[in-house]
Structure 1
Amino acid sequence: MRLSEVEFRGYKRLVEAECNVLGKVIALVGPNESGKSSVLQGLQWLTDTPRHLRIQEQNRDAPPESETLVVRARYKLDEDDIEALNQLDLDVEPAITAKTVTEFRLSRRADGTTVTGITTEVQRSTHIFKAANAQIASVMALLEHSESLPDDERIGPVENVLRVGSALLNPSDPDWTDDRLENLAGTLDSVDTMWRNIEGIEDAPEDFAALREQLVTLSRLIGDSINAGRLGEPADAMRDALQQRVPKFVLFTDDDRNIAETYPLGDEALRAEAPPPLRNLLYVAGTTVAEVWGYLDRGDTAQLRTFEKRINRTLQARLQPMWSQSQLTVNIVLNTDGMLEVNIEELDSPELTITPIGERSDGLRAFLALVCFLIAAELSIPPVLMIDEAERNLHYDAQADLVRVLTSELKVHKVLYTTHSPGCLPLDLGTGIRVVVRDTEFPGRSKLSNNFWIRNDPGFSNLLFAMGAEAAAFSAFRRAVLAEGVSDMILLPTLLRNATNTETLDFQVAFGLSSMSASKAIGSVALITTFLVDGDDSGNEKRQQLIAAGVPTSHVFQLPEGKALEDLVDRATYLSVVDGFLQELGHSLDQDRLQSDCTIAKAVDTYAKSVLGIDGGVSHKIIAARLAELGPKLQLTAEGKRFLKKLSAQLVSAFESPYLLQPEVSGKV
């Protein structure tokens, strides 16, 4: 399943706040004291051991009632979830598919009660109940056309039993209570008694044999109905099964962050309350502080070295697979004076270099602490990793390293983190930023926003405003592509990743080129900025302006002639997403009525306005977000894939070539 949305109703400042969290890595940004940390803490409470909401966790102005669903997480189901549901012992209609079971919800009330929900069309199958009722009708018809059967007391009260059974087998009644099942079992006993009574009647008319055969069939159908009724409500069974598959929210705290270079285990106070990073590291090594101290305290050097070798071998086996770019492991040294040393060993170095962890980069140390934290959590399902102030104690380069680690090197369901630093933002800005903003009407409340482009300012100024950061802090930031619109910023990273079969990009995409002058665009985004314009006349004009302002042609790129970014997406995929959006609005898409002499996005807009009467057309931003949500499954046109692969290589080359502006001079030869 995929975590898709989070909601808060009365948790600290979050009285009525929700946002989607569809990206793989989500950064929560906003001014100080806006409630960013509260988002993480509330989600941690959601999947922790159940407990009531403490007074200090409730909003002061609008405290939630005990039955209020204070925190809720929504999940979209994937193929594995559907397969797991199909393994349940259920008799349902329609079949369990990705279309009939679409969402799972996990909530917690203020009193600590966990509540689950599911969006599904699946119900208990009624075919067996209908078949049993049809059989009752057949028996009643036989009785109606027979002169001897209804009056023969030797059989029993057939008609009364059948009327009761028909009511109990009502297919439109979904509630199979214990009383209902017990009463139906009584009906079954009566039916069995009646057909056995017929067997004992000598010289019975032919009608009796026919009735016996019908009652035997009815007995079997009632028995099957009882078994079906005992299976339990399908929605309840599916909710229980899906709850077991929910990824836990785990919060990586300040106490978990820093693995020290040395630990004096001779210090009794340290052993009594060992720092979490040390406990986590030793857990990964398959040992504990107490066991390590036991070997140190005994003073048997041979045993100590054997033990040391064993724990280091365990560390290597468990940590080495976590490094995607380097062959590294942790090497623990146990000194006889009680000092435990933590080193990094380079397995791919010819010299097998070992260095104290304190001499390695902050980013590497943060990653190691994260990995140990996650392994020590002992979670069979990859969790949602949460980090408050991810940039803490990390310089700019280390922040960039951490972002790359969070994006591609951790085996987690999703990453949610807060940050104040522009240097610690996700690489995919269009899908990876959520803003926590103070409510202007209620000072004690905050809201969550799915986007940071609520103001009209182009480039990164919207984001800086949302973060409360100084623009100057961002002017010396990473590499960036400045595209024309918001939808380009959202969609381009996914298209480039899919075209090149890569998981991450080493640059970011901003928007606003369509509404920003060339001179302003050049200096307001990053140290090395490249530009991408559409393939229309406006794009031609913007390209010429940038070149005239001094940007090298090697840093200005243009989409294929007559194309916008959406035209690089497989047409059927694009229109399917649009149709899904329109159906939510009560409309549908007639592809035959789309214009063919313009971009696909403009054709859809024109159709929505002129045919469906949607004044604002179809939001390009919403469609782009839904396309990006498809991730690797988003199909490209053949032309689009070729162009994007070439563009990716050109961008890599351009980012290796910083430039100084060399404006064209009119009249100069």
Structure 2
Amino acid sequence: MRLVKAEIQGFGRLATGKVNLDSKVIAVVGPNEAGKTTLLRALAYVDNGATLTASERSRGMNVDDSATVVRVQYLLNEGDVAAVEAFDLEDVPQSIWLSRAAGDGTVRESVLPAPRKSIAPLSKALAAVKRAATKKAFGELAYTAPVPSEDGTVDPVDEAHASLRERAENAISSLLAEADAEGPVAPAERRADELRAISHDLSVYGLAQQLAATLGEVIAWVDRADPTAEVASALYGRTPDIVLFGEQDRMLASAHGLSDELVANPPASLRNLAGMAELDLGKVWATFTNGDEGERETLIDRANQTLAAKFDKAWNQSKVTVVLKTEGATLAIRIKQNGNRITQFDERSAGLKMFVALVAFLEVRGKTTPPVLLIDEAETHLHIDAQADLVNTFMTQQQAAKIIYTTHSPACLPPDLGSNIRAVVPDPDNEYRSLIKGSFWDGAAGFSALMLAMGAGAAAFSTARYVVLAEGASEMLVLPSLIKSAVGVADLDYQVAPGLSEVAPEMYPELDLAGARVAYLVDGDQGGLDRRRDLIAGGVPEDRIVTLGALTLENLLDAESYTTTLAKLLKECNPDAVVPDLPDLPDPTAEVWPSFVERWANEHSLKMPGKRIVASRLVEDGCASPSDFGAPILASAHAELQSVLKRASSGATS
């Protein structure tokens, strides 16, 4: 299950807003006091059971206790769908919304499409009724009135039996006619009591047993409980918790002096680690007061064995575990790697230290389903290199389903700037409110939009940064993944920024200010060639422009990965439509693929997802992979870009 969207209404500075959360790692940026932390608090509100005080509700809005202040949407995966398969639903569930009201601590669930009993069994039952409702069957229901006996007495007429044939014929013929006219569900529910009485009488009198059995199937379908609540409950139980990973939980010191005060109130991060180790700090401290060194060593040895077993399950990249050691009255934390090498905890990378704290945090809370993790001011106490290492850990870790964090630091941004950044900025029309922006790249080029969103100055982005200015946000999203795959590297030594397609040609000479060392990349279609001409006319040196050796970037994708992603998005964009299979894509040299698919979608009256959304999903699902045709073209573009950037660097240095 994947968290993809949040909607907020009346929550602090966020009076109204929507945010796309469909990325594994999301950095929330914005000026000081804009409301970045409020966004995290709103997300955490979904699962924390709290209620909003009057001061926590948006100023100038009437946010009563029953008002929904936060909604989040999860998209289901195959495992989630399989978990509710036994409910035999008419429509396969695709998503679940969780919502919270301002003054109510409970979570409300809403599954889409709304769970309904499968209609197929009812239709089958009605077809069986139709086959069983023959003249012969109705003939069995004929009633012979009692005749007088020899003494002249007459038994009373059995009214139920006498009317049975007429009632059965009328009810069944009406049921079948109405089902043909308006569908089977409403007529079956409307006539359920009538059919129930007829079925009962058929059984009492032992008549038309096949007809009675088929009516029983219709009644059984009607009597089957509405699955809405049970399906919602089952899926809610599978949603990842949204939890705040606070500074006290993630800042784990290398050593802790044991004392009565520390044992009574240990730092949160140490309490988590001791809990994971199943180590009673009070018992360890008692061995110092009673002098029982053997008991102390036994407690620490057991704790280290427990940590080794648990970290072995959590850390699948290499053999890393935490080792506890007492040095005098100090409890020291060490890292053991590959079973033998032991190092000081504070000598290790910021990413590894956060990983240790995170594993302990989740372990003591019994989080078996990877949660959505919220981190406020992730760069706190970290120098620039450590921030970059921390972000790399965010991108590769498997303990959390998603990490959403705030930062003020350009060094703490994720590598792919397009899909992984959201901005919270002050509302220019209301000093008490802020706006959430997921697409703040529009209308600007390079890093200028990001600098504006962060409240950062140009100097913050000018530290020897290699920049490739591409046409739009979709290139910024997909190009890094495609090139890394094509040339077989883990990271690129340049960042991709959008803007060429969104800036007037007369502004092109100013784009060099958006990064320290800049190369330009344009598509190989007519639009790209026109843009190249405009760049040169605007004063950009021709030798700093690289032309992609294909019509457009999408044409370099693996065709199956591209169409699979498009098919998923088309179903999400058109939930009430039957989306046909996508046609085979044309030869990548013949036509621009996005134009081809958009034309096909228009012919079928389907809403198309935007290029930015497609690009984001390609990266998120791991489908941003090049085709055999595209890989050498991407490798060539990469080599050209590196050459341009090195020349630009040499020129800047000289």
**For this structure pair, what is the TM-score category when the shorter chain's length is used for normalisation?**
0.7 to 0.9
| Offset at residue 269 of structure 1 (A) | 2.3
Equivalent pair of 2:352/2:393 in contact (CA under 8 Å): no
Q: 2:204 — aligned with what? A: 193
Q: 1:398 to 1:652 in 2, by over 3 A?
A: farther
Q: Give me the whole-angstrom Cα distance separating, in 1, the residues matched to 2:219 and 2:472.
A: 61
Q: Give me the whole-angstrom Cα distance separating, in 2, the residues matched to 1:175 and 1:380.
A: 46
Identify the match of residue 522 of structure 2 among 523, 529, 533. 533
Corresponding pairs, count: 623
Q: 1:643 — aligned with what? A: 633
Q: Secondary structure at the match of 1:633?
A: coil
Q: 1:8 — aligned with what? A: 8
Q: 1:54 — aligned with what? A: 53
Q: Give me the whole-angstrom Cα distance separating, in 1, the residues matched to 2:401 and 2:62.
A: 32
| Offset at residue 226 of structure 1 (A) | 4.6
Q: 1:347 to 1:133 in 2, by over 3 A?
A: closer
Q: 1:653 to 1:340 in 2, by over 3 A?
A: farther
Q: 1:254 — aligned with what? A: 247
Q: 2:419 — aligned with what? A: 431
Q: 1:123 to 1:460 in 2, by over 3 A?
A: same
Q: 1:392 to 1:592 in 2, by over 3 A?
A: closer
Q: 1:148 to 1:315 in 2, by over 3 A?
A: closer
Q: Secondary structure at the match of 1:566?
A: helix
Q: 2:592 — aligned with what? A: 600
Identify the match of residue 480 of structure 2 among 493, 497, 503. 493
The Cα offsets for residues 81-107 of structure 1, whole Å up to 9 and x where unpaired, read as 222222x2x23435x3xxxx3221111
Q: Secondary structure at the match of 2:431?
A: coil
Q: 2:69 — aligned with what? A: 70
Q: Give me the whole-angstrom Cα distance separating, in 2, the residues matched to 1:508 and 1:557.
A: 15
The Cα offsets for residues 157-176 of structure 1, whole Å up to 9 and x where unpaired, read as 42376379759997744699
Equivalent pair of 2:71/2:98 in contact (CA under 8 Å): yes
Q: Give me the whole-angstrom Cα distance separating, in 2, the residues matched to 1:609 and 1:140.
A: 46
Q: Give me the whole-angstrom Cα distance separating, in 2, the residues matched to 1:383 and 1:81.
A: 16
Q: Give me the whole-angstrom Cα distance separating, in 2, the residues matched to 1:300 and 1:78.
A: 54
Identify the match of residue 412 of structure 1 among 387, 393, 400. 400
* One-letter amino acid of the counterpart of residue 627, structure 2: T
The Cα offsets for residues 3-56 of structure 1, whole Å up to 9 and x where unpaired, read as 1111111111222110111111111111112111111111111012x3433223
Q: 1:410 to 1:655 in 2, by over 3 A?
A: farther
| Offset at residue 131 of structure 1 (A) | 5.0
Q: 1:174 to 1:125 in 2, by over 3 A?
A: farther
* One-letter amino acid of the counterpart of residue 568, structure 1: L
Between 246-255 and 529-538, report the one with greater CA deviation: 529-538
The Cα offsets for residues 96-137 of structure 1, whole Å up to 9 and x where unpaired, read as 3xxxx3221111122233211122276323344445555656
Q: Secondary structure at the match of 1:661?
A: helix
Specify every segment of 5 or more residues in structure 1 that has no aligned partner in the other structure, as ranges: 196-211, 665-669
Q: 1:480 to 1:663 in 2, by over 3 A?
A: closer
Q: 2:333 — aligned with what? A: 342
Q: TM-score, normalised by structure 2?
A: 0.81
Q: Give me the whole-angstrom Cα distance separating, in 1, the residues matched to 2:47 and 2:81.
A: 22
Q: 2:307 — aligned with what? A: 315
| Offset at residue 343 of structure 1 (A) | 2.3
Q: 2:343 — aligned with what? A: 354
Between 294-303 and 569-578, report the one with greater CA deviation: 569-578
| Offset at residue 138 of structure 1 (A) | 6.1
Q: 1:391 — aligned with what? A: 379
- Identity level (%): 31
Q: Does 1:445 align with 2:433?
A: yes
Q: Give me the whole-angstrom Cα distance separating, in 2, the residues matched to 1:284 and 1:513.
A: 52
Q: Give me the whole-angstrom Cα distance separating, in 1, the residues matched to 2:403 and 2:326.
A: 35
Residues 290-301 of structure 1 mapped to structure 2, 5 A cutoff: 290-301=282-293
Q: Give me the whole-angstrom Cα distance separating, in 2, the residues matched to 1:602 and 1:503.
A: 28
Q: Does 1:159 align with 2:165?
A: yes
Q: Give me the whole-angstrom Cα distance separating, in 2, the residues matched to 1:234 and 1:417.
A: 37
Q: Give me the whole-angstrom Cα distance separating, in 2, the residues matched to 1:161 and 1:450.
A: 63
Root mean square deviation of aligned Cα: 4.5
Q: Give me the whole-angstrom Cα distance separating, in 1, the residues matched to 2:256 and 2:563.
A: 60
Equivalent pair of 1:482/1:531 in contact (CA under 8 Å): yes
Q: 1:223 to 1:522 in 2, by over 3 A?
A: same
Equivalent pair of 2:451/2:457 in contact (CA under 8 Å): yes
Specify every segment of 5 or more residues in structure 2 that has no aligned partner in the other structure, as ranges: 146-156
Q: Does 1:126 align with 2:114?
A: no
Q: Does 1:332 align with 2:351?
A: no
Q: 1:567 to 1:468 in 2, by over 3 A?
A: same
Q: 1:605 to 1:359 in 2, by over 3 A?
A: closer
| Offset at residue 541 of structure 1 (A) | 5.3
